[in-house]
Amino acid sequence: MSTLLASALAIRELNEQTACPPRALIDACQDALGRIIEASRSWPLAAIVGMPIPVDHLLYNCAVVLHRGRILGVVPKTYLPNYREFYEARHYLRVFDEAMPRYGITVSDRELACAPFRSPEGRACFAAMAAAANTAFANRQVITHRVRELFARVFGRDARALGLEVIYDVCHNTAKLERHRIDGEWLELVVYRKGATPAFGPGAPDIPAAYRDVGQPVIIGGSMESGSALLVGASRAMAETFGSTAHGAGRTMSRAQAKKRV
């Protein structure tokens, strides 16, 4: 399913780079969808698959809802940004653009478009983000399970005996409701970590009990030329960064620059 979703997101770029529509890729996605539909006959659940759907010489990025061998519906994505990254905040950029005048909000940069948290637009954005985070957690659980199965098959031992356990799992680029001290007063805030991840210090109630005495595990992913780091959150982070840190090594140039130079 992840492959089909990636195809749906990348297909517009392929169209721009080729003289004719990538018919072979569309056909491959449709063939794969057919196999998933057939396999779903025995599934006691509904599945949603990302698909590029051609209609009247246009390509639509759609969600196909499946249940027990049947397509229940096809929903095209709306409020598409005009670039190729599909985060929830950017998905809602146009929604917030239209909502801000109603709430008397002005911003200096369109990327800061927003709406009151308790407004219908704010609640919808937060719910979509929560659903995306839950999907990410579930997806990584499936990936972890498959990796365990592979190791068990190769080494001929149970995954538990091999010690294949998850140390920690955390999402980044998400918003959370948290309590922080501002000018000596404890307030409930919406903390949105863009390009960042939580790094709560020792004793923070949001940390699982297993790590609460030492601080939240923090994984700083490396790059092709630098190593990764496994760290713990510190009390100082709570005072200086709302308990946040970077979620990776970063990059020396934007994706657009890299595409031009490489």
Predicted confidence (pLDDT) per residue in 147-188, tens digit: 899 889 888 999 889 888 888 887 778 889 999 999 989 999
Residue 232: is its pLDDT beyond 70?
yes
Assess if residue 175 is contained within a domain. Answer: no
- Count other Cβ atoms within 10 Å, centred on residue 43: 13
Q: Which two tokens stand for residue 52?
A: 């590029």
Same-domain status, 34 and 68 = yes
Indicate the residue among 105, 137, 155 that finishes a domain. 155
Q: Could you tell me where the DSSP H helices lie in the chain?
A: 2-17, 23-39, 88-91, 93-99, 120-155, 235-240, 255-261
**Does some domain include residue 257?**
no
* Tokens of residue 139, six digits: 């997806």
118 SS3 class: coil
Q: Tell me, yes or no, whether 261 lies in a domain.
A: no
The answer to whether residues 94 and 71 belong to one domain is no
- Write out the H or E segment, with its range, that includes residue 219: strand 217-220
| Structural domain includes residue 217 | yes
What are the angstrom distances between the C-alpha of 68 and each of 4, 30, 46, 47? 19, 18, 8, 9
Residues 70 and 93 grouped into a single domain: no
Looking at residue 79, its pLDDT comes to 56
* Residues 101, 52 share a domain: no
What is the per-residue pLDDT for 81? 53
Residue 197 lies in a domain: yes
Residue 40 lies in a domain: yes
Q: 107 Cβ partners below 8 Å, 6+ apart?
A: 100, 113, 114
pLDDT band at 8 (very low <50, low <70, confident <90, very high): very low
Contact by Cβ (8 Å): 33, 65: no
Q: Which of 67, 91, 145, 247 is catalytic?
A: 247
What is the arithmetic mean of pLDDT over 201-217? 91
Q: Express each pLDDT in 23-81 by its tens digit.
A: 788 888 889 999 999 999 988 888 888 888 888 878 888 889 898 999 988 888 765 55
pLDDT surpassing 90 at residue 117: yes
What does the DSSP assignment read for 48-92?
EEEEEEEETTEEEEEEEEEETTEEEEEEE--S--SSS---HHHHT
Residue 4, pLDDT score: 41
**Average pLDDT, whole number, for the chain?**
82
Residue 145 appears among annotated catalytic residues: no
Q: What is the pLDDT of residue 124?
A: 92
Among the candidates 14, 47, 76, a domain finishes at 76
Residues 15 and 67 in one domain: yes
- Do residue 68 and residue 131 come from a single domain? no
Residue range(s) defining the domain that contains residue 143 = 88-155
146 assigned to some structural domain? yes
Give the list of residues 6+ apart from residue 256 with CB closer than 8 angstroms, or none. Answer: none
- The number of CA neighbours under 13 Å toward the Cβ of 135 is 13
Q: Is residue 54 part of a domain?
A: yes
Distance in angstroms (rounded) separating the CA atoms of residues 50 and 127:
20
Highest mean pLDDT, choosing among 19-23, 105-109, 227-231 = 105-109
Q: Pick from 76, 99, 123: which residue ends a domain?
A: 76
- Taking the CA of residue 147 as centre, how many other CA atoms within 13 Å lie in the half-sphere pointing to its CB? 11
Does 67 share its domain with 94?
Answer: no
DSSP 8-state secondary structure symbol assigned to residue 111 = G
Contact 244, 196 (CB under 8 A): yes
Give me the percent of the chain exceeding a pLDDT of 90. Answer: 29
- Cβ atoms 256, 211 nearer than 8 A: no
pLDDT tens, residue by residue, 237-248: 988 999 999 887
Residues 103 and 43 in one domain: no
Q: Are residues 15 and 72 in the same domain?
A: yes
Confidence of residue 120 (pLDDT cuts 50, 70, 90): very high
Are 68 and 102 contained in the same domain? no
Q: Are residues 72 and 95 in the same domain?
A: no
69 and 95 in one domain?
Answer: no
Whether the CA torsion 246, 250, 255, 257 is positive or negative: it is positive
Count: domains in the chain: 3
